[in-house]
Structure 1
Amino acid sequence: MIKPSILPAIRYHIFRQPLPYPLGLKLQEKVIDARLGRKEKGAGVTQDIVFLLEHTPTYTTGRRDNTPNPDQLHPEEKKVQNVGAGFYITKRGGQVTYHGPGQLVGYPILDLNVMELSTRRYVDKLQRLLAEYCTNDLNLPNISAPHPDGHVGVFSSPVEKVASIGIHLRHRITSHGFSINVTPEPIKWFDLVLACGLADVHAISINQLLQRTSLTTGISARQLTVEETARSLLKVFEKAYGREIVDLSHELPGGGNEEIEELRKLVEGVEVEADRLNKDSGGWAREPSMSVEQILR
């Protein structure tokens, strides 16, 4: 076994603007393809990395959500096809969820074999570190992970969900990951769908929970940004996995290597393409173009 403390540092990159969902998906696939190619050539340990970002408004569903007829629109897609968001069927676990500005998305691409982690332990660690961030760093009360009924995710009450987890494994390398609502901006989008298949649970954000807590304590609530949340979570992530986490752009003693240089080029290409796509499209919708009432008519 390679002890976590002597494994290479995990690299990370925080994207500077929201990514269209297909760009994030393609980035993960390219990174994993490259890692598997290196393993086929005899590389023992390849570079783990965590991508932290926001997406432009997007609904996704996972492999658990089996649509009876693949030639027909998913029932939830029918509801939201005219609200200003994309809809994508993915290979991750879980059911329908929303990604968009105001929500931090994390895509850890980790080799679970090298870390000697089972899939269950990996998901448990993700849940725990998100819950610990909410409880210990933000002093939010009544955080549970998983749900009292066993549903995966982080909940502030039996009917409120603040963070979701949905992963995919390919040859024991992880992709997809987690999302946590930071500002209230995603909530209107969540309200349009049956998120995660939980009819009695609705989405809530960190800032809403902080505001509610301030009413109880009388202490003025701090409102967080997505970038602040990303940087705070990296520290929790580092502690949870017992490994140093280093910005992809930083040089370590001894210089970089070919794999890290390739990762930098991939990330730079995605940043440029996201900038072009967002400019060409005129930006993204700040809120749904239809209300719940209009959709239900």
Structure 2
Amino acid sequence: METLVTLESFIRSAQSSSFSAAARTLGLTPAAVSQNVARLETNLGVRLFQRSTRGLTLTEPGQRLLREASSGLDVLQTAIANVAMTAGQPAGMLKVSMSPAFGQNFVLPLLGDFFTRYPGIVPDWHFDNRPVDIINEGFDAAIGGGFELPTGLAARELARAHIIAVAAPSYVAKIKPPRKPADLKDFDGILMRSPHNGRIRTWPLRNRAGEQVAVEMRPRMLLNDPEACTNCAVMGLGITFTATLNALPHLQAGRLVRLLPDWYADIGPISIYYAGHKQLPAKTRVFVDFIIDSFKRQGLAKQLSAS
């Protein structure tokens, strides 16, 4: 009978086509994952992977084993996680991805209440501006926008992601504030370059009447991180377009002011994503419910709305 660790080493390696990637997900060394897979191949008497310098390719027996064993592994892991409870409470490591600004400003402040309610859960939170592959990278959940929703994932919307124009009071004091989006072309723009494709990001603005316009600004600087753009605006270096989740703490503290308050861009939902199967681990289920309930109680969706 194969052990859970050998089967999981095979399945995670097959999903990522890499022993190294599987090792990161499992918290093992690449050598240990490779040995687990080799042990499984020996016990089954078949080769599961074709190995090359370019990575791993499943053989026909490997494809069949992945197809038949992966769903069973998920069910077993969920059953084990739900049994491994501390004093009847959900327990275990909770691996979640979220953007740095969102996580630090809106999720970390909830930790105290979460620990009080679920002392057996250990947060393993990753702050990253990229949409992660929840299944293949071994995450229990992710919070953000721009995720594809393949089969097997579920999503619950927390708020809308709105983009607004902001600048520091010191910068605004030196200019004649813009009255319409077209006026922005005359000012110093702190522009965002996409870290994924290198293009300068632009957002069509709309107002409450439903009008929509494209906006151009003179580039004063180009950055590839939204928090960096926001911080440069706080320094009084120009005007930037940033998400309300990045700007809100600075707006509340008076370090930034919103320009063109009737105009904003809606770039989609901020959602919490998780595996959609019925046997969701208790630690993940209570985390999802906790985040949704906390956002509702604190009215965070309204605070993040630019409309």
Higher-Rg member (1/2): 2
Higher RCO (C-alpha under 8 Å, 6+ residues apart): 1
Shorter chain as denominator, the TM-score bin is under 0.3
**More strand, by proportion:** 2
TM-score when normalising by structure 1: 0.20
